[in-house]
Structure 1
Amino acid sequence: MALFGLTTLSSWKHSVLLALLSLLILHKAALPALAQYGEDDDYPAFDEDDYDDEADDAEDDKDVIILTEDNFATVIEKAPFVLVEFYAPWCGHCKQLAPEYAQAATEIKEYDETIVIAKLDATVHGEVAQQFDVEGYPTLKWFKNGEVSEYDGGRTAADIVAWVKRKTGPASRLVEFVADLEKYTKDEEVVVLAYLSGLEGAEFDAYMAVAGDNADVVFVHTVTAEVAAVHALKVSSAIMLKEFDGGNVPLEGALEEEAFGAFVGKNKLPLVIPFNEKNADRIFGSGIASQVLLFYSGDDAEEVLSTARAVAPQFTGECIFVSVDTDTEEVQSVLEYFGVEAGKVEPVQLMGFVVKDEEGIKYEYTDEYTVEAVVAYTKKLVAGELTPYFKSEDIPEKNDGPVLTVVGKTFDAVVNDATKDVMLEIYAPWCGHCKQLAPIYKKLGKRFKDVESVVIAQMDGTANEHPSLTTVVEGFPTVLFYPAQHKEDGPLKVEGERTLKELAKFIKENADIPYEIPSKKKETKDEL
């Protein structure tokens, strides 16, 4: 299982793709570096802020059930509802989640003692984690009567509690009195009220199915004319109650599952939704695959958002417009993923983004920021007529070290050179395992420096991309080998021990071009 030999890319992507993708995109798990490296090592020095050996404070998680390989099956079998966090003790995001998760466990226990909030150390009980396809930390899974599904809620105590209540309680509340309508809808951002013909039958089932699929919206229903009259509803109709984008929206047409579901999905989000932790799950849980991201500085908000609001209504239900204030701390992982530099958006940098087959595809925008230009761009984005964008650092001015630096712009010229056998390490600056490998990999570069047919190279996988790597790189570090005469077959994955001896042996066994490593010259006294 690759999970414990590298920092998984999916864990990094999760913070981006749920927080703006998700693939991401993806949580950046800061693994402990096993060594410190100096300026001569060509890797960023380990920052102790990236990893804390001990949690700052021991969290009171008395209401969180500790799972192991021995009791996991029993707990899942006996409890009707179980939320499980798969974590690693060294994971920074797990530590951030810990107090929120503990608080949520206490609140949920007070709400309903039959609901279990639990956690399992995946580094100790790896077989259980592997059984449930855990690829990054923290990963939360929801078990209902033993059946597993993904947790797609937020990461605050309030978010967790609200999500669990929605999953365990009724998807929609029955409102029998006018006074209850205000009680159930007060302070809620989005509420759907339906006036049903009865509490059973096809209409009721269709309504409840849609309510169950939209955990981020409050649903209430009534069969009482007095309640329905508050919003002038007729039987078998519904209305979405909201204060943004012009206010309430009535359902047009019949209350059937497909049409009603489309109505909710189309109208529950603001035309332009700010990116933040609260909204991330709403964006990526909307079912709308296309997004236009507007990166701007807070000082330019009005200019940027007014144009976006003029465009967005034309694409309701087809594309989500997401505003990203680059001055806020919580968007830094998103900026990194899209290659946007804070302070260099004047007044806006626009990027298109489409989630397809669980992968995020980026699309660059290069036109002037006008209503007409953004409309034309978004039409092409939704229609799938744009060319994907892959980010790249600038080509380095100096690149003569033992390990050659590859960037997105030089990938084909270096890696796909048919006259070279190429070993490529794809790393992340914050990855502890990458830093552990760094001195070994540098020695490997020195060993092959005078071998003309072999290239030892590395690429920062967080700052550079290439279309051929989309499904190949699953974690950091990933080491690939490209035989000179078989580039079209794709790379070989270098697995096993990452020692100098084993890496050199792998090259020897898989290189297409025969070579000899020049013997080392012994230093004479005169050379000393």
Structure 2
Amino acid sequence: MAARNCSRALALALALALALALASAQRAPSAVLELGDADFDYHATEHETLLVTFYAPWCAHCNKLAPDFSRAASVLSGSVQLAKVDCSVHSNTCSRFGATAFPTMKIFRNGEDSGSYDGPRTADGMVHYMKKRAGPNSVFLKTEKDLEVFINHSEPSIIGIFPGSNSAVLAEYLKVAALLRDQFRLAHSTDPSVGRKYGVHSQGVVLQRPPRLSSRFEENFVFSEILKTTEIPRFIREQLHGLCPHLTLENRDRLRVRDLMTVHYDLDYQLNPRGSAYWRNRVMRVVSQYASRGLSFAVANQKDFLSELEADFGLGVADGAEFPVVTIRTKLGYKYTMREEFTRDGKSLQRFLEDYFAGRLKPFIKSQPIPENNNAPVKVVVAESFQQIVLRPDVDVLIQFHSESCSHCKRLQPLYTALAHKLSSDPHILVTKMDAAANDVPVGFHVQGFPTFYFVPAGGKDQPIRYEGGRELNDFLQFLRRESTHQLQTRDEL
């Protein structure tokens, strides 16, 4: 009996402890602010950076987001405040900020709507994204030491220098900073003496490139007196990278908007700063002669781009190769590689550039082998045979760009084969396909998903027509009857 009473008492004690723990958890304050119509503006202005999710209790996506949002709020506590607004109750606030779909996430700075949040929706992703966006749009620099600390960074720095805090031009600069803060590091000073070493006497904008990219072949900073709102972004973009920037996985899309030559080698400014600068200086000595020829230049860590060098340029680059590897990729998609070994005197690079500008280089084309037997109703096209088959001037061609891993392509294949068989007796049209994952897609054909279809008419090979119709046999036939340059002949019509 005593043992039974003891067990019952222990169970009651455990139940009581659990109840207390749950009650405590329920009373624990959340790191997420709950805002509404009455207090949104008041609380929003108290926070330099505020991430707000506008939600509805019945929204499944909102409920899925809530735990990650709460965890991110706890981690970011003290640097970035997170808040939420229940739009089923506080419709006025949600309507003011255009929250009509849920969840809608927005960033506010000092109470002002700074734009939509377009980052990850996991806790770690939100923390990483918002840490980069915490703080002011433009960092205020009081002294020259503040300036030196700010520019000693791996990314470029933009600094506005102004004669005083009441400057009208400063107000314009800060507007620009609000628009560009997610792309660039910006700061400003209201003491012209801070910018004296850069030649600033009154006001202007200084663009300082990363110290690691200092070189005797160009100044590491650029100064401009241009301070108009519309001209500052253009000045930054034109001067940001300099003659030969460091291409990374993060900035490659920005740098590749132009024709770009890249020199790949064992570049590592942390572990190998001297070797990194050694090869870059040899590159800059040569390319400085071609700075105005319409080709941009960059250096890159070879290891970061090994898979790209192999897949896009056919280069089986050995890990830790002794000499740099040089490639050119144009904005139209043409690719070239320097086959000669990179020489320390730069002569081989100079010959490569001379051949490029003279049009003597043959573009590299990734291609599967041309099939020995191509007698099936659907003709197989590879990059090397594209000119001979698809661009034949005397025939219409329907081409399917596909991938071997594409399930939609596989399901469509019987129908596409039936279409080819139905048209196989017509000498004026070819039904073809090309594996776009294993072959370079020619310029003029925009392929983002699979399958993608184009019709390339006889006499209009420079104006391919994208097929956007249905996926039934009659859909294809109706399209071809409408677009063909001749009267379409099918097997049942012969």
Residue in 1 aligned with 2:213? 245
| Residue 176 of structure 1, aligned match among 138, 142, 147 | 142
User: For the residues of structure 2 that align with 1:331 and 1:156, how far apart are their CA atoms?
Assistant: 27
| Residue 203 of structure 2, aligned match among 236, 239, 260 | 236
User: For the residues of structure 2 that align with 1:112 and 1:162, how far apart are their CA atoms?
Assistant: 8
Gap change, CA 1:174 and 1:80, over 3 Å in 2: closer
Give the partner amino acid of 1:254.
E
* Contact 2:481–2:487 under 8 Å retained in 1: no
405-414 vs 489-498, greater mean Cα deviation: 489-498
Gap change, CA 1:391 and 1:244, over 3 Å in 2: same
Give the partner amino acid of 1:173.
V
TM-aligned CA deviation for residue 396 of structure 1: 0.8
Gap change, CA 1:150 and 1:365, over 3 Å in 2: farther
Alignment of 1:350-365 (within 5 A): 350-355=326-331, 360-362=332-334, 364=336
| Residue 263 of structure 2, aligned match among 270, 288, 294 | 294
Residue in 1 aligned with 2:283? 308
* Contact 1:236–1:255 under 8 Å retained in 2: no
Give the partner amino acid of 1:174.
F
Residue in 1 aligned with 2:251? 279
| Structure 1 residue 332 corresponds to structure 2 residue 332 | no
* Contact 1:192–1:218 under 8 Å retained in 2: yes
| Residue 197 of structure 1, aligned match among 151, 159, 163 | 163
TM-aligned CA deviation for residue 430 of structure 1: 4.4
Gap change, CA 1:161 and 1:281, over 3 Å in 2: farther
Give 5+ residue unaligned stretches, structure 2: 1-29, 33-48, 55-66, 86-104, 269-274
TM-aligned CA deviation for residue 112 of structure 1: 4.0
Superimposed CA distance per residue, residues 191-247 of structure 1 (whole angstroms, 9 cap, x where no aligned partner): 344442112335424644664536444332223478667989654364727421328
Alignment of 1:49-198 (within 5 A): 111-113=79-81, 160-162=129-131, 164-165=133-134, 170-176=136-142, 189-198=155-164
SS of 1:200's partner is coil
TM-score scaled by structure 2? 0.57
Name which one, 1 or 2, has greater alpha-carbon Rg.
Answer: 2
User: For the residues of structure 1 that align with 2:372 and 2:361, how far apart are their CA atoms?
Assistant: 31
| Residue 499 of structure 1, aligned match among 472, 476, 481 | 472
SS of 2:137's partner is coil
Residue in 1 aligned with 2:377? 402
* Contact 1:101–1:156 under 8 Å retained in 2: no
* Contact 1:191–1:242 under 8 Å retained in 2: yes
| Residue 426 of structure 1, aligned match among 391, 401, 404 | 401
Gap change, CA 1:509 and 1:196, over 3 Å in 2: closer
Gap change, CA 1:449 and 1:157, over 3 Å in 2: same
TM-aligned CA deviation for residue 408 of structure 1: 3.4
Gap change, CA 1:114 and 1:435, over 3 Å in 2: same
TM-aligned CA deviation for residue 458 of structure 1: 0.7
* Contact 1:245–1:271 under 8 Å retained in 2: no
Residue in 1 aligned with 2:411? 436
User: For the residues of structure 2 that align with 1:183 and 1:331, how far apart are their CA atoms?
Assistant: 35
SS of 1:278's partner is coil
Residue in 1 aligned with 2:225? 254
Gap change, CA 1:294 and 1:116, over 3 Å in 2: farther
Superimposed CA distance per residue, residues 169-192 of structure 1 (whole angstroms, 9 cap, x where no aligned partner): 543122235775577566554434
Residue in 1 aligned with 2:367? 393
Give 5+ residue unaligned stretches, structure 1: 1-61, 65-78, 85-98, 118-139, 520-528
Gap change, CA 1:342 and 1:437, over 3 Å in 2: farther
Over the residues paired in the alignment, what is the CA RMSD in angstroms? Answer: 5.5
Greater relative contact order structure (CA < 8 Å, 6+ sep):
1
Give the partner amino acid of 2:411.
Q
User: For the residues of structure 2 that align with 1:323 and 1:458, how far apart are their CA atoms?
Assistant: 37
Give the partner amino acid of 2:180.
D
Superimposed CA distance per residue, residues 39-79 of structure 1 (whole angstroms, 9 cap, x where no aligned partner): xxxxxxxxxxxxxxxxxxxxxxx999xxxxxxxxxxxxxx9
Superimposed CA distance per residue, residues 255-290 of structure 1 (whole angstroms, 9 cap, x where no aligned partner): 645887676546644754444333336636xxx734
* Contact 1:291–1:319 under 8 Å retained in 2: yes
User: For the residues of structure 1 that align with 2:236 and 2:466, how far apart are their CA atoms?
Assistant: 45
| Structure 1 residue 465 corresponds to structure 2 residue 438 | no
SS of 1:469's partner is coil
Give the partner amino acid of 2:260.
Q
TM-aligned CA deviation for residue 393 of structure 1: 1.5
* Contact 1:193–1:241 under 8 Å retained in 2: no
Give the partner amino acid of 1:236.
Q
Residue in 2 aligned with 1:122? none
TM-aligned CA deviation for residue 477 of structure 1: 1.6
* Contact 1:450–1:517 under 8 Å retained in 2: yes
User: For the residues of structure 1 that align with 2:176 and 2:117, how far apart are their CA atoms?
Assistant: 18
Gap change, CA 1:513 and 1:500, over 3 Å in 2: same
Superimposed CA distance per residue, residues 275-330 of structure 1 (whole angstroms, 9 cap, x where no aligned partner): 4333336636xxx734222356889x8796454232355567976433345544x6
Give the partner amino acid of 1:466.
P
User: For the residues of structure 2 that align with 1:488 and 1:185, how far apart are their CA atoms?
Assistant: 52
| Residue 221 of structure 1, aligned match among 170, 181, 188 | 188
* Contact 2:193–2:201 under 8 Å retained in 1: no
Gap change, CA 1:81 and 1:102, over 3 Å in 2: closer
User: For the residues of structure 1 that align with 2:295 and 2:419, how far apart are their CA atoms?
Assistant: 48
505-514 vs 102-111, greater mean Cα deviation: 102-111
Give the partner amino acid of 2:441.
E
TM-score scaled by structure 1? 0.54
Superimposed CA distance per residue, residues 416-465 of structure 1 (whole angstroms, 9 cap, x where no aligned partner): 43554432111244444333323432444455556544422112334233
SS of 1:456's partner is strand
* Contact 2:150–2:157 under 8 Å retained in 1: no
Residue in 1 aligned with 2:23? none
Give the partner amino acid of 2:455.
F
* Contact 2:400–2:434 under 8 Å retained in 1: yes
Residue in 1 aligned with 2:61? none
